[in-house]
C-alpha cells in the first residue's frame, strides 16, 4: 500500500473544480437551460472562493458554450442547441468545412478504388453487412444518431477493405471530428434517399471490382454531402427547429 500519503488538497486548480461543480449541476438538471445563476459575489461566498476564481471558472464554461454571461443581467445556463453550433464558430468551423471535405474526397476516393481492387470475400461480407444495417435503420421511425453512426460504419468498412491502415486511421479521426463537430446532414430533406442511392453505387462497384466506377461513385457521394452541408450552413435556422 503506497497510497498512504493522500494529497490533502483536492486535485486540480480551484477554478477548474468550480467549473466541474457547476457543470455537474447542469448535467444533473439542478440547473436548467435559461436559469440564472446567483450573482457572482453571492455565488463566490456560497462556494467559499474568491470572485476572480469563480470568474475564471465561468469564463471556461462560457468558452465551451455551457454558460452565457450578460453584462448587467447575470450568468445564464446555455441551451445545448447553441452549444453545438457554438463549437462550429469557436473552432472557426465555416472555414474548416471546405478543408474537411476536400480532405475527405482526397482520402475516400482512392479508398473506394482500392477497395474495388483488393476486395475479398470477407471484405464484401463486411460491406454488405454494414450496408444492410444502414438501410434497415433508415426505415421509420428514423433514429438519427443511429443512422449517423451506421453511415460512418459503412465508410469505415470501405476503407477497411481498401487495406491501408494509415488511410483507415486518418479517416477515422476525420470522421470523429465531423461527428462531434457538426450534426449529420442526412436529415436534410431528400438527402437520406440520395445518400442511400450513392451508397448502393459504391457497394455495387466494389463488389464488381470496378475500381473506376467505385472512385467516381465515392467522389459523387462526398460532393453530394458537401453540397448539403454547405446549404445547411447557409440556412441553419430550419435545423434549429429540430430538437438538437
CB of 157 to its own copies, least distance (A): 18
Q: Applying CB under 7 A, does 6 fall inside the site for DNA? A: no
Q: Which contacts of 120-128 are long-range, i.e. CB under 8 A and separated by 24 or more positions?
A: 120/161, 123/160, 123/161, 124/161, 124/206, 124/207, 126/157, 126/160, 126/161, 127/154, 127/157, 127/158, 127/161, 127/203, 127/206, 127/207, 128/203, 128/207
CB of 74 to DNA, least distance (A): 4
Nearer to its own copies, 191 or 215 (CB): 215
Please give the residues from 25 up to 64 whose contact with DNA meets the rule CB under 7 A: 37-42, 48-53, 55-56, 58
Among 23, 33, 74, 93, binds DNA (CB under 7 A): 74
DSSP-assigned letters across all residues of 166-193 = HHHHHHHHHHHHHHHHS--GGGSTTHHH
- Between the CA atoms of 185, 190, 193 and 199, what dihedral angle is there, to the nearest 10 degrees? -50
Interface with its own copies (CB under 8 A):
13, 15, 19, 27, 52, 55-57, 59-64, 69, 71, 82, 85-86, 89-93, 96, 99-100, 102-103, 106-107, 110, 114, 163-167, 169-170, 172-174, 176-177
Binding mask 190-229 for DNA (x = CB under 7 A): ----------------------------------------
Closest C-alpha to 80, from 36, 144, 146, 27? 27
Q: State the CB neighbour count (10 A cutoff) for residue 234.
A: 9
CB of 80 to its own copies, least distance (A): 10
The residues of the shown chain that bind DNA, judged by CB under 7 A, are: 9, 13-15, 37-42, 48-53, 55-56, 58, 69-75
Amino acid at each position: 500500500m503506497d497510497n498512504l500519503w493522500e494529497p490533502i488538497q483536492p486535485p486540480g486548480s480551484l477554478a477548474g473544480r468550480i467549473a466541474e461543480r457547476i457543470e455537474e449541476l447542469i448535467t444533473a438538471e439542478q440547473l436548467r437551460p435559461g436559469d440564472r445563476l446567483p450573482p457572482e459575489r453571492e455565488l463566490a461566498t456560497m462556494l467559499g472562493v474568491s470572485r476572480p476564481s469563480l470568474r475564471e471558472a465561468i469564463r471556461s464554461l462560457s468558452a465551451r458554450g455551457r454558460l452565457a454571461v450578460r453584462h448587467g443581467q447575470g450568468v445564464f445556463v446555455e441551451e445545448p442547441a447553441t452549444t453545438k453550433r457554438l463549437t462550429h464558430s469557436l473552432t472557426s468551423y465555416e472555414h474548416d468545412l471546405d478543408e474537411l471535405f476536400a480532405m475527405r474526397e482526397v482520402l475516400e476516393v482512392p479508398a473506394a478504388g482500392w477497395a474495388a481492387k483488393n476486395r475479398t470475400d470477407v471484405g464484401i461480407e463486411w460491406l454488405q453487412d454494414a450496408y444492410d444495417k444502414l438501410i434497415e435503420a433508415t426505415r421509420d421511425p428514423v433514429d438519427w444518431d443511429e443512422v449517423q453512426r451506421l453511415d460512418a460504419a459503412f465508410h469505415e468498412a470501405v476503407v477497411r477493405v481498401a487495406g491501408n491502415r494509415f488511410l483507415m486511421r486518418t479517416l477515422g479521426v476525420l470522421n470523429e471530428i465531423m461527428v462531434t463537430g457538426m450534426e449529420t446532414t442526412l436529415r436534410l430533406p431528400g438527402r437520406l434517399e440520395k445518400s442511400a442511392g450513392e451508397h448502393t453505387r459504391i457497394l455495387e462497384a466494389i463488389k464488381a471490382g470496378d475500381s473506376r466506377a467505385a472512385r467516381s461513385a465515392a467522389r459523387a457521394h462526398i460532393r453530394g454531402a458537401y453540397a448539403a452541408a454547405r446549404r445547411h450552413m447557409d440556412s441553419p435556422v430550419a435545423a434549429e427547429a429540430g430538437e438538437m
